[in-house]
Structure 1
Amino acid sequence: MTDGQAEHTIQTLEDVLRACVIDFKGNWDDHLPLIEFAYNNSYHSSIVMAPFEALYDKRCRYPIGWFELGEVALIVPELVQEAMEKV
C-alpha cells in the first residue's frame, strides 16, 4: 500500500466515523461493526473489488438476504439497511 492509498483509506474512515457521530450521537460506537461491514463490502478501485471478495474469493451475502432465506439473523434488517444507506 502506498502512502497515497493509506491516506485515502484514513480519510474515508474519518468521513464515515464523522457521519456516524453526527447521526448516532452518543452511541455511535455501538455501530462500529456495521461500519466495518460496510467498508469491507464496498468496492475499492485499487483492488477492483470489495476487500471481503478479495479475501474470500466470493461476494458477501448481506444480512438483509439472511431474512429472505429464512436463516437465523443476528441483526435487525431495518438497522442494517439504514446503516448501509448512511455509509
Structure 2
Amino acid sequence: MQAARDRQKSYVDLKRKPMEFQVGDKVMLKVLPWKRVIHFGKRGKLNPRYVGPFKVLEKVREVAYKLELPRKPRMVHNTYIASVLSENLRDHGS
C-alpha cells in the first residue's frame, strides 16, 4: 500500500509547482462561482476565470495570503490560500 501511495505522490509532484508570493506582489484571484466563493458583479458562462490584479498585504500562514480587495463586494473575505491565486502575468510582458 505504501509503495502505491509513494508512486502516486511522485506523479502528482511532477506537475505541482510551489506557489509562494511576497508582500507587495500582484496576484490574480481565481473566481469560483459554482462554489459561491467570489461574486465580482458579472455572472454567467463568459465570466473571466481570474480577476485582479490584487496586491498581497501579508502572509498569514504558510499557504495563506491577505489581499487588498476593493470595497465593493463587502461579503468577500480578503484571505485566500495559494491554490486560488495565480501570478499576475500581465506585468511580465512589459
**Aligning the two structures, in what range does the TM-score lie when normalised by the shorter sequence?**
under 0.3
TM-score by length of 1: 0.26
The structure where strand makes up a greater share of residues is 2
**Which of 1 and 2 has higher RCO (CA within 8 Å, sep 6+)?**
2
TM-score (norm 2): 0.25
Structure that is richer in helix per residue? 1
